[in-house]
Amino acid sequence: MFWKLLDDLNFIARCKKYNLGLWQCPNFLFLAMGFLTIVAMFGTYLVSKWFDNETVTIVSVSAVGMIIFTVGNFVVRGFEKVAEANIMKSEFISIISHQLCTPLSAVRWNLEILETEANGKISEKQKIFLENVKKSNDKMLKLVSDLLEVVRIDQGRSVFHMENINLVPLAEEIIDDLRHLIKLKDVEVIKKFDANLPQIYIDPKKMKIIMENLISNAVKYSYDGGKVEIKLYPEKKKVLFVVRDWGVGIPRYQHGRIFEKFFRSDNKSRYRTEGVGLGLYLVKAILKHFSGEVWFESEAEKGSTFYVSLPAI
């Protein structure tokens, strides 16, 4: 608490971190405004006491007003600069992602054509190289599509194609899509799907993002040879999707930050796994649109359980 307060007051370091000059930095301006207001009020009180003259009092009160107005103006400009930087950052991400999406998709198409061997046979060794190129390309495509989704959601531009769907076939499809990762980690997937699961009304593509992120995380952050349990069952008027692993877990002191954009926990697996910390941010942001909820329980070295609940039809 004390250190946090001290850190809050260390405005020079904070302004440096935000790359803002002192007179553009809201942290400094707030302090300056508070200080100036107190000094100006006290000065007005002394002036009106000494001179006992209406005009002097009015002039000094007007001067206080002007000081507050001027510093207030700096504060507003400081906030504007921060807001502008935020907009520019989103636009930058959006432009770069759009520009990367087309060539990356073209690479994928061409690789698939090569793989059909319609234009000549390829050797077993060449097939391995092609497979490696495809995997790297797919990783870049996933990153670009995650970034684009984040920009769309943040700007309220996401398009939803709603349907009544059953989550069981979708879960099976995702597990199949992740079979290479599951094999690589030698993870056993235990499925517990309720046979009478009610349907939900949702955009299947967005639901796929949610389920894919939670299942792939459970596999990624499991120890090699571990197990992952995936459950789908009804509860009251909701459908619950639960993914449990017995992997590295999340340290308690980082629980509060896990759904933040670009956050990666500093558990040891971070250095062994790929990711940029957008998955859980997307899961939470998407669920907000469908009146859904996500929460989790986790302990370092013991594993994690992520819960998603959505209204049943």
Interface contacts to ligand ADP, rule CB under 6 A? 213, 217-218, 221, 245, 247-250, 258, 263-265, 267, 270, 275-281, 304
Least distance between ligand ADP and beta carbon 312 (Å): 25
The pair of structure tokens assigned to 78 is 């400081």
Q: How many CB atoms lie within 10 A of CB 242?
A: 17
- CA angle, 28 then 29 then 35, to 5°: 95
Residues 201, 203: Cα–Cα separation, whole Å: 7
Give the position of tokens 């989790």: 296
Least distance between ligand ADP and beta carbon 217 (Å): 4
Residue number, 217 or 309, with CB nearest to ligand ADP? 217
Amino acid at 4: K
Residue number, 175 or 258, with CB nearest to ligand ADP? 258
Residue number, 74 or 221, with CB nearest to ligand ADP? 221
Residue number, 127 or 268, with CB nearest to ligand ADP? 268
Q: State the sign of the Cα–Cα–Cα–Cα dihedral 227, 304, 286, 238.
A: positive
Helix (H, G, I), strand (E, B) or coil at 298: strand
Least distance between ligand ADP and beta carbon 241 (Å): 14
The pair of structure tokens assigned to 279 is 């998955």
Q: Are 151 and 90 in contact (CB under 8 A)?
A: yes
Provide the pairing of β-strand 227-235 with 188-193: parallel
Least distance between ligand ADP and beta carbon 120 (Å): 38
Residues 221, 203: Cα–Cα separation, whole Å: 27
**What residue number has its CB nearest to ligand ADP?**
275
Residue number, 206 or 264, with CB nearest to ligand ADP? 264
Least distance between ligand ADP and beta carbon 243 (Å): 7
Least distance between ligand ADP and beta carbon 194 (Å): 22
φ/ψ of 293, rounded to 5, equals: -135, 155
Least distance between ligand ADP and beta carbon 91 (Å): 23
Helix (H, G, I), strand (E, B) or coil at 199: coil
Residues 71, 15: Cα–Cα separation, whole Å: 17
Residue number, 24 or 213, with CB nearest to ligand ADP? 213
Least distance between ligand ADP and beta carbon 272 (Å): 11
Residue number, 41 or 300, with CB nearest to ligand ADP? 300
Residue number, 28 or 281, with CB nearest to ligand ADP? 281
Smallest Cα–Cα separation from 191: which of 166, 169, 164? 169
Q: How many CB atoms lie within 10 A of CB 162?
A: 11
